[in-house]
Amino acid sequence: MPVAEKRVRVPHLLEMKAKGEPICMLTAYNYTFTRLIDDLVDIILVGDSLGNVELGYETTLPVTMEDMIHHTRAVSRARRHALLVADMPFLSFQGETAAAVENAGRLLKEGGADAVKLEGGEPVLEAVRRMSKIGIPVMGHLGLTPQSVHKFGGFKVQGRGEEAAVKLKTDALALEEAGAFALVLESIPAELAKEITASLTIPTIGIGAGVHCDGQVLVIYDMLGMFDDYVPKFVKRYGAIGEQIRQAVSAYSSEVRARQFPDDAHSYGASVPAALAKTKPEEVGH
């Protein structure tokens, strides 16, 4: 059933946290999937994970601003209800603050996003603060931040150990102070996520961070069961859509090759005019 008909705004998410209402967030990368899920979730994220699942890259690092704007624009054409958040890709916000603000503005102005999401703690605080002050809503992202995959040595759980846990909580509080309206916590121990969530007035959105976050997010293709080659521990599959697609395409191919499709029910019926039936091939065009 649809969650609501009205458009979700940033203040609605803050109200949901205050009331203890879980926030539902999923990724989408195109018009078609957005039409299917828009009224069922609170937030749609156009993640830079599109580099993996749409463009075939091994990491998110090659994703460009042009890629993000292109996909965000497509999603925005179908979105009617959910808050639309767009990821800021690698090197679009880590340099000069002015350039980061300009790139964030492009995702809103050209892409149609309502807000942007960026990864990191202390190094991005100035950019978050500036964006928030001029009216660009910012969602933070801590824990396993995929743009730092080489620094982490792979996709590994973060925040284990006292020093790492303290750093994550400190960064979370700093992002809230800088003006972030929400925070994604990825691949961190559930108890740490619970502690951080309790310490913030802004909502946390977990992915591999336990049930005590204020909301949850997954990559839509993961939760639909589109692929079998790699399934993260934190992903629950709610379907087997990939296999269903393969079965449907296999059936179609078999019927085409056997000349069983199209049958009469899927063809237009009309008798051939007598004059056309008598026309010889060499007379065509004369």
Instruction: Assign residue 114 the CATH number of its domain.
Output: 3.20.20.60
DSSP result, 143-162: ES-GGGHHHHTSS-----SH
Pick from 206, 214, 218, 217: which is nearest to 16 by CA?
A: 214
* pLDDT the model gives residue 273: 80
Alpha helices in the chain (DSSP H): 10-19, 31-37, 50-53, 65-78, 97-109, 125-133, 149-152, 162-178, 190-199, 220-224, 241-257, 274-278
Q: pLDDT band for position 275 (50/70/90)? A: confident
Could you tell me what percent of the chain has a pLDDT over 90?
Answer: 84
> Does 213 fall in a domain?
yes
Which has more pLDDT, 229 or 86? 86
Provide the residue range defining the domain that includes 22: 10-224
> Does 56 fall in a domain?
yes
Could you tell me what percent of the chain has a pLDDT over 70?
Answer: 92
Helix (H, G, I), strand (E, B) or coil at 188: coil
d(CA 108, CA 155): 30
* Mean pLDDT, rounded, for 50-55: 97
* Mean pLDDT, rounded, for 76-102: 98
Q: pLDDT band for position 274 (50/70/90)? A: confident
* pLDDT the model gives residue 149: 67
* pLDDT the model gives residue 231: 85
Residue 220 has pLDDT above 80, yes or no: yes
d(CA 118, CA 144): 12
The DSSP output letter for 265 is G
> Does 268 fall in a domain?
no
Number of structural domains in the chain: 1
Answer yes or no: are the C-beta atoms of 209 and 186 closer than 8 Å.
yes
pLDDT tens per residue across span 113-167: 999 999 999 999 999 999 999 999 999 999 998 786 656 556 578 899 999 999 9
Which residue in 15, 96, 177, 186 is the catalytic one?
186
d(CA 125, CA 170): 12
* pLDDT the model gives residue 2: 47
Q: Is 186 a catalytic residue?
A: yes
> Does 83 fall in a domain?
yes
> Does 128 fall in a domain?
yes
Answer yes or no: are the C-beta atoms of 37 and 13 closer than 8 Å.
no
* pLDDT the model gives residue 152: 55
> Does 251 fall in a domain?
no
> Does 51 fall in a domain?
yes
